[in-house]
Structure 1
Amino acid sequence: MNNPPKVAIVILNWNGVKHLCQFLPSVLASTWPNLDIVVGDNASTDGSVAFIQSNYPSIKVIKNDSNYGFTGGYNRVLAQVEADYYILLNSDVEVPPAWIEPVITLMESDPLIAVAAPKIKAYNQKDSFEHAGAAGGFIDSFGYPFCRGRIVYEVEQDKGQYQQSGEIFWASGASMFIKKKHWDEMGGFDDRFFAHMEEIDLCWRLKNKGYKIMYCAQSEIFHLGGGTLNTENPFKTYLNFRNNLLLVKKNLPFWKSVIVISARFVLDFMAMLRFLTEGKRKDAWAVSRAHQYYIRHIFEKGDPARRGPQVYNSKLTGMYHGCIIWDFFAKKHTTFTGLDRERFY
């Protein structure tokens, strides 16, 4: 590619020195010719910054004065990074040398493409997809996200079934390529999310404005996962349920969000009962706290999302016209290929 655009890989770190030690060498071996590597640090106390400065002086370090989470941390760091493209990359990701080239080539092919993601596979089981992203993200009519290659907690093996690049609904924040101009246009992440589902919110806002989110099958990376909050952490449960309600409230028109969230309260109550029957009382309480937060803030004055998005499209590519939870538990549809293709927009 003549005059390749400037790309900045930006890794947000919080007390992740062991991941930086393990995974930074593969990132530094990336072959894109016009590349900066930046580590944004959320006030780590484990010697992360000193480790980078001593071992990788070519890496730019931007230090935040506190732990602002995934959303606030990236918002503050990216305000200080100049590039044509940002790659938001988790610290626990291994990449092959030429992983950037196919994605940028795809994004350069269409000015409407704002965001793209590679295929995300599991670091510890490299023939399987990884929970956070897999082969591209989708969403159902009730705001439940799922992936091509992962529905609820069932993760598929990669047998070449998703080798076709194409438009999706959301790209995982574990490895998100985004054009800087679109990041700036949307104002980055919503700080309130702190962590989890902020990338879905950003992608939904972009899609409502007519931009495309793409999956690039020709690039694959390997994600360890659970580096900051593991799946057994009740705070993760709280963030997932709370942020999912915020996601629906922000991106659906007011009248539609009322209908969907009313249904979600019933479905989430069933999830609470399931946690209780499994002996996971802290997770059940986390769901309750998520609903309490939502109720306290539903009529918050000054909230720009109070009445939903300014522009709304009810038939966005990557949206599933149905309930993925019902299909998974009642119909036993555990793979993406088992879903009814006619129910996708």
Structure 2
Amino acid sequence: MISIIIVNYRGWSALKKCLLSLDQIEDQIGFEVIVVDNYSNDGEFLNFKNEFPSFQFILNEGNFGFANGCNLGAKVSIGNYLLFLNPDTIIKNDTLQSLKEIYQSHPEIALLSCVQQDENGRTERQERLFPSFFRFFGVFRSFDRILNRRKYRERFKDTDSDLIFPDWISGSVVFTDSSWFDKVSGWNEDFWLYLEDVDFCKRISEQGGKMAISRKTSILHMHGGTSRINLKTKALTKTEVIISKHVYISLHFNPLEAFLLHFLMITGFLIERIFLSIVGILFFFKPKLRVNIFILKNLLVYYANALRHLTWISPRSVNFRK
């Protein structure tokens, strides 16, 4: 059986489309749907529970992050296969069967995904490598792609193969089995939001597992459906991207590299956000600029907490309280 685990936080409109697409799949291979709501607390939980009685709904005690929600769903699942799926996705009739068949026929694969397209038909980038010291920041990644153009082309060349093998796959669609999930103790709850998928793949890779993307099937992925509700929410999510980078650095880089990367991030982001905040004050009537004031405030609070508690973990993470 396949256990489909979806973590939701106030993304009910997108979630409904996702659940309707799952509800229309003929249950020929056996699957269950588990929706973990990260305490949306907006009155919609019971409505959805009644509207989709064949699916299991779990109410989390708080919004402790994507990784925490995934682990909670996996804990109550009964399937030997797990499919972690974003609520802003729409799945096709053949997707489950295709993913299962490919996974079973390629024992070297630990985590499997598929092609993701947005509502305009654009395909999500698939050539993903793990962050390294010289690839951690965007400008250096661009130089790396230019300098190692041949290496990238050879590894991700467009062939007749139905599979490509990146270092990591997006957490929006992750197919695996319970043995691999248990081997790495599931998702890392040090991450509240963002980069938990890169960390998951990194730990799987260290255990000898491969990541793959199937070109035989695809899903529709409508990005950002629940993370850009208002200015403060937008600032929060952008801040958490930065926080998750600090967490990833602390887990996967040696002490010298970690020190240098933390230093570069702190100085670089604070200088950038101070400048953009001044611009935001001057052009207060432009929300896109004003959001930087909230990001700067969030970063200052985060760095003060990091110094006080001697941890890079987000205060929103459940592990911050341990």
How far apart are the structure 2 equivalents of 1:274 and 1:162? 46
For 1:1-345, what aligned pairs fall within 5 Å after superposition? Answer: 6-31=1-26, 33-123=29-119, 125-126=120-121, 128-130=122-124, 134-135=125-126, 137-142=128-133, 144=136, 165-230=163-228, 233-269=234-270, 271-272=272-273, 275-276=276-277, 279=280, 280-298=292-310
Residues 281 and 64 of structure 1: CA distance in aligned 2, closer, same or farther (over 3 Å): closer
Contact 2:126 2:166 in 1 (8 A): no
Please give the secondary structure, in 2, of the residue aligned with 1:72. Answer: helix
TM-score by length of 2: 0.75
- Write the letter of the residue equivalent to 2:123: F
Q: Is the 8 A contact 1:117 1:136 kept in 2?
A: no
Aligned mates of 1:197, 1:94 — CA distance in 2: 22
Gaps of 5+ in 2: 143-156, 281-291, 313-322
Is the contact made by 2:130 and 2:202 (CA closer than 8 Å) also made in structure 1?
A: no
Contact 1:17/1:51 (CA < 8 Å) preserved in 2? Answer: no
Q: Which string of whole-angstrom CA distances, capped at 9 and with x for unpartnered residues, describes residues 155-185 of structure 1?
A: xxxxx96985221122212112122212222
Deviations 1:215-235, CA, capped at 9 Å, x for gaps: 222221111222322296111
Q: Is the 8 A contact 1:272 1:287 kept in 2?
A: no
Distance 1:267 1:218, change over 3 A: farther
Unaligned runs of 5+ in 1: 1-5, 151-159, 301-345
1:22 deviation in Å?
2.6
C-alpha distance in 1, partners of 2:106/2:309? 39
Please give the alpha-carbon distance, in whole angstroms, between the structure 1 residues aligned to 2:249 and 2:61: 31
Q: Rate the CA distance shift 1:262–1:96 in 2: closer, same or farther, 3 A.
A: same
Q: What is the match of residue 342 of structure 1? A: none
The two structures have a TM-score, normalised by structure 1, of: 0.70
Q: Which has the higher helix share?
A: 2
Indicate if the aligned counterparts of 1:242 and 1:291 stay in contact, CA closer than 8 A. Answer: no
Between 244-253 and 111-120, report the one with greater CA deviation.
111-120
Give the % identical residues.
19
Query: Does the Cα contact within 8 Å between 1:197 and 1:243 map onto a contact in 2?
Result: yes
- Judge conservation of contact 2:115–2:213 (CA < 8 Å) in 1: yes
Counterpart-to-counterpart distance in 1, 2:137 and 2:111 = 17
Distance 1:208 1:297 in 2: 29
Query: Deviation string for 1:127-182 (max 9, x for gaps)?
Result: x135xxx4353343246488xxx9xxxxxxxxx96985221122212112122212
Match of 1:138, SS?
Answer: coil
